Chains A and B, each alone.
Chain A
């Protein structure tokens, strides 16, 4: 059963979480009961057959072995080669899951949520490399973080140390009630976004677009706007469910969206759209790349380093969505927009030609909105059909 896709799922979840909520409001946290809930929900999600239960188990064992092995290794040694090899092995199942379909063989490596789970494991390896995770983690801690069911299928991508802080926190009755209230609020927002607004845009507009738009250009233009809005409401709705259920479990999973359609420029947009993913790429790909270039003094030119960083980040983000033409072009498009904005920002800092003020802010928002929507239009794959 796909998480949050049917009312049955919510009903089961509601019943399962009843003891968690009641005891939570009394200031008690039942760890073993929460583990039980996790196992039951994972069984429901992965029992469908095509969700890849055995791949999930094999994947989890592999990641636990890699992470625990690397932490032990890192306590005495710190070779870059070992770090890269371990990181590569950790990403290997994800790479296989993207490449196998292209080779037209059975995609045995894939399972629901592999793209998101890989980030959680790699992140622990990187923080161990940086010396921020020093003590060995228990299998329970690792599996509990990796397979946290509210966010298993499509994120948000949490960070281990942040997650662990919430996991170990003792919520007082007042604090838990606040969490519960916020969680329920988010879940209802999710219903509004995903099942009412997103569903309506798709069912009543996008699916009838052939009859609404006469001309090809108008059709594609309307498709661009409506698909962009649908994508936001559908994914923001899912995220609201995932974060809301996390709150009920006492974990404040990070948010993914912060009013992305009022972004003032493309850089601002990436601080507001699918934030847990873009921040992951920012912290673990872009910044590390720039740091390496600067420290080794391989490339001196600032503009070149940051633009190469953007190209690397967005092409990776593109292929992470899937090895299909629309995702690669989507990544390249955003790399181009970011590099273009980078030039413009540097130029404008010197010449101050772009006027400031309320009216200009609105102009900037409108331009950015269109740049972003065109990106989603590419992402949808419609132009390549």
Chain B
């Protein structure tokens, strides 16, 4: 897994959450921490498509398995 990709993903998450804490704490539950809601989730999916060219269907985005920066990077790697 290349680091470059991970950094890019973290950058996108940080932009959508409007908080750089996700770049430091990779196992932070972004839903529990109140950093992201359903509206921001959609923004995240749009950004993944536009910036990383990865298409994540809304129905694929399950809050239980896409809950931390690390988990999101893993899921995106699977879909790449």
Contact = CB atoms under 8 A, between A and B. Distances in A.
Interface of A: 126-127, 130-132, 267, 282-284, 286-288, 290-291, 294-295, 302, 305-306, 309
Interface of B: 37-39, 41-43, 45-46, 49, 57-60
B9 to A, nearest CB: 19
Nearest to B60: A132
Q: Which 8 A-B pairs have the closest CB atoms?
A: A130-B57, A290-B42, A130-B59, A306-B39, A291-B42, A294-B46, A287-B58, A127-B59
Interface centre among B37, B43, B49, B58 (most CB of A within 10 A): B58
A291 B39 contact: no
Contacts of B45: 291
Given A291-B46, A294-B43, A294-B46, A282 B38 contact: yes
Interface centre among B38, B45, B49 (most CB of A within 10 A): B38
A282 B63 CA distance: 12
A286 B38 contact: yes
Nearest to B42: A290
B79 to A, nearest CB: 11
The B interface is mostly helix, strand or loop, or mixed, namely helix
Interface centre among A131, A132, A286, A287 (most CB of B within 10 A): A287
Contact of A283 (B37, B46, B49, B58): B58
The A interface is mostly helix, strand or loop, or mixed, namely helix
Contact of B57 (A132, A267, A290): A132
B60 A130 contact: yes
10 contacts: A127-B59, A130-B57, A130-B59, A130-B60, A283-B59, A288-B58, A290-B42, A291-B46, A295-B49, A309-B39
B39 A126 contact: no
Contacts of B58: 130, 283, 287-288, 291
A284 B59 CA distance: 8
B39 A290 contact: yes
A358 B37 CA distance: 23
Contacts of B37: 267
Contacts of B38: 282, 286-287, 290
A110 B25 CA distance: 52
A154 B43 CA distance: 33
A309 B59 CA distance: 17
Contacts of A282: 38
B66 to A, nearest CB: 13
Nearest to A126: B59
Nearest to B63: A279
Nearest to A349: B18
A178 B42 CA distance: 37
Given A130-B58, A287-B58, A305-B39, 11 more contacts: A127-B59, A132-B57, A132-B59, A132-B60, A287-B41, A288-B58, A290-B38, A290-B39, A291-B42, A295-B46, A295-B49
A288 B59 CA distance: 9
B42 A294 contact: yes
Contacts of B42: 287, 290-291, 294
Contacts of A291: 42, 45-46, 58
Contacts of A130: 57-60
A294 B58 CA distance: 13
A130 B42 CA distance: 15
A120 B28 CA distance: 33
Contacts of B49: 295
Nearest to B43: A294
A295 B43 CA distance: 10
Nearest to A128: B59
